Amino acid sequence: MSDTRFTFRAAVFVIFERDGLVLLQRRFNTGWEDGKYSLVSGHIEEGERVVAAAVREAKEEAGVTVKEEDFQIVHVMHNKTDSQYINFFLKTNKWKGDVINMEPDRCDDLKWFSKGSIPDNTIYFIKEFFENIKDSNDIFSEFGF
């Protein structure tokens, strides 16, 4: 038996909401799920709190400032893809600045969509997330097992 313990990777996914629409970005030149839409997102860094990671990713990827108290954790997903993740989905409808693509080398489209019209070329577990919140108020799901 190994002395090494299994560890999860953790990520935050930011749901920007405006007038019934959500912001999605299309991945480009990343090497993973390129050409598919996702939410503004990123890995939680060592020693970083979940909400602080969401604040950082909002600034790094969308160029806006969101206060920690303006985020609400709306879902947690245990996801298995090529590795296992704990994904935290945080929603906000309040930010300062104009949403812009801050990473044109990794994102080739940033667009607002109706929650009921998420594009077919959206990363599978992101589509699953939107299906889950549409049909129930469950705050936890498992995907990919």
pLDDT in tens, 32-41: 999 999 999 9
Domain assignment present for residue 89? The answer is yes
Domain assignment present for residue 90? The answer is yes
Radius of gyration of the chain (CA): 15
Q: What is the pLDDT of residue 134?
A: 65
Rounded Cα–Cα distance for residues 131 and 127 (Å)? 6
Residue with tokens 């704990």: 86
Question: What range does the domain containing 92 cover?
Answer: 9-143
CATH of the domain at 72: 3.90.79.10
Domain assignment present for residue 3? The answer is no
Domain assignment present for residue 26? The answer is yes
pLDDT in tens, 19-60: 999 999 999 999 999 999 999 999 999 999 999 999 999 999
pTM, whole model, 2 decimals?
0.94
Domain assignment present for residue 123? The answer is yes
